[in-house]
Structure 1
Amino acid sequence: MTTTGRRALLVAGASAAAAALTGCTSEEAGPRRPDAAEEAAAREAERVARAEAALRRRAVTASRTLLARYDAVLAAHPGLHARVAPLRASAAAHASALGEGDRPTPDTSTGTPDGGTGSAATPAAATAPGAASPSTGTASPAPSIGADSAVPADPAAALRELAAAARAASDAHTAELLAAPPEYARLLASVAAAGAAHAYLLTEGARA
């Protein structure tokens, strides 16, 4: 064998040994595991995401329950359409905004919000949820009127109960403000203010 051939053989053998050594070292080291700080950060991020999702569900449920109550009153008292329908359209737009990913800011006027379609949202649970504690996120009992409650035969009584439902939903949204992320908190505040205005217009406003 020539000198050049022996040199080539030695180089090839050294390369093969280095590759084998590298493979063994990689197998022994294994994939990098996250440290304690990274695991704690991941758990906290997951906790925050779950809490925010639960808050959004409560807000949407409160608005959809109120919307279902509007529908019940309109079905029982068609003669109230001119007075109640504009407020119902606004409530529908609020429920839609609270449930959408882009969460457009609703108009707090008593009519249909700018850009709102006034389309009906999916009816929610029968009983409006209670206000949630900002610190714990746990719902606490709140006076409310369920969407399946019988509508009073007297139109004035029906309006009073609808106003009470609007106030209950407004209070529920207000209770969530401190726990909500900034953008969603602004939306909740706007919807809560509109709900309080609706409650006034359904009762006291009519006598002004």
Structure 2
Amino acid sequence: MTTTGRRALLTAGVSAAAAAAVSGCTSEKPAPRKPGAAELEAERVARAEAALRLRSVTASRTLLERYDAALAAHPALAPRLNPLRRSVAAHAEALGEGGTTVRPATAAPTAAPASTSAKPTASPVPVATDPRAALKELATAERTASDAHTAALLTAPPEYARLLASVAAAGAAHAYLLTEGARA
């Protein structure tokens, strides 16, 4: 091969490389990047935590509705129930503070918790006409919410599990105060 042939070959190679580089700079959009295994796992964990938080907040809000209904049906119980109701409202707010919204790119947002600091209002929740029976119903509702929070401990992340444990313990204490504590 002559020097001219080598130069021509080298020039052709450089030209081909330049053409390949220029063709890579087109205005076409690149194909969407497929999320990796770590990203998919992080999204799964975030969704699971958001669902757990939503269930926990819902259990506390349901209990709060029971208190509101009992207070509406038996205003004479207000001195006894108002401190417990305020505690339940604070628990519902604390349980929802981390948010129940999932915001990964592939996820649709879920509902954020509503305010739990509203004043007691009439509710369609049925309440016993006897004040003692109403207190027993509230104690049962406290135990149900406490059991739900305790069951959620198994899948909760550590910090949220500590909060759930505290709220579950408070619910058990409220149930005692609503029933056994009244006899003391």
Task: Write the distance in 1 (CA, Å) between the matches of 2:156 and 2:147.
Answer: 15
- Give the AA of the match of 2:82: A
User: Of residues 171, 174, 179 in structure 1, which corresponds to 2:150?
Assistant: 174
Residue type matched to 1:203 in 2?
A: T
Q: CA deviation at 1:99?
A: 1.1
What are the superposed Cα offsets for residues 148-183 of structure 1, whole Å, 9 maximum, x if unpaired?
442111100000000000010000000000101111
Instruction: Tell me which amino acid in the other structure corresponds to 2:162.
Output: R
Aligned partner of residue 186 in structure 1, secondary structure: helix
Instruction: Please show how residues 28-39 of structure 1 align to structure 2 within 5 Å.
Output: 39=36
Alpha-carbon distance in structure 1 between the residues aligned to 2:177 and 2:57: 23
CA RMSD of aligned residues (A): 3.0
SS in 1 for 2:36: helix
Q: Indicate the residue corresponding to 1:20 in structure 2.
A: 19
**Residue 72, structure 1, aligned to residue 48, structure 2:** no
| Aligned counterpart in structure 2 of residue 48 of structure 1, from 45, 48, 51 | 45
Asked if residue 100 in structure 1 is aligned to residue 97 in structure 2, the reply is yes
| TM-score, reference length from structure 2 | 0.72
State the distance in 2 between where 1:84 and 1:71 align. 9
Identical-pair percentage: 68
Show CA shifts across 1:53-73 (max 9, x none).
111110000000000000000
Query: What TM-score do you get using the length of structure 1 for normalisation?
Result: 0.64
SS in 1 for 2:128: coil
Contact 2:65 2:125 survives alignment (8 Å): no
Per the TM alignment, residue 47 of structure 1 is displaced from its structure 2 partner at its CA by 1.4
- Aligned partners of 2:65 and 2:33: how far apart in 1? 48
The answer to whether the Cα contact below 8 Å between 2:142 and 2:171 also exists between their aligned partners in 1 is yes
Hey, what's the Cα distance between the residues in 2 that align with 1:174 and 1:24? 61
Change (3 A) 1:33 1:64: closer
TM alignment of 1:59-208, pairs within 5 A: 59-101=56-98, 119-120=117-118, 148-208=124-184
